[in-house]
Amino acid sequence: MNTLIAVAIAPFGKGEELASEVAEVVKVIRESGLPHHTTSMFTEIEGEWDEVMKVVKDATFVLAAKGIRTEVVLKADIRPGFTNTMNTKVDKINDILGGQNEH
């Protein structure tokens, strides 16, 4: 079943600058082959439930396997019969706003 998630996976209690650890997480997500989009606070991943959850697990354990306490924040949208919701949701809003983009 198609699933769109927004996930933030980050080391917890490790210091102020976390970019290198977060980059390790994002690398796992990018190498998964699933559609994804990274923003400053979350990465969206879309695919079948089991595939998406496997990517979340793999990305989480890239840090946890190093003994790093890891925090995961996840929001999921399961919408039967729909695909490419990562893009179509945004396209609908942009159409309503007359093609106006957020930048």
Q: What is the mean pLDDT of residues 25-53?
A: 97
pLDDT in tens, 61-75: 999 999 999 999 999
CATH numbers and ranges of domains, the chain: 2-96 (3.30.70.930)
For the whole prediction, is pTM greater than 0.85?
A: yes
Say yes or no to pLDDT of 13 above 80. Answer: no
Distance between CA atoms of residues 43 and 98, nearest Å? 26
**Integer CA distances (angstroms), 22 to 25, 42, 76, in order:** 5, 11, 20
21 vs 16, residue with greater confidence: 21
Q: Using alpha carbons only, give the angle 40, 103, 76 rounded to the nearest 5 degrees.
A: 45
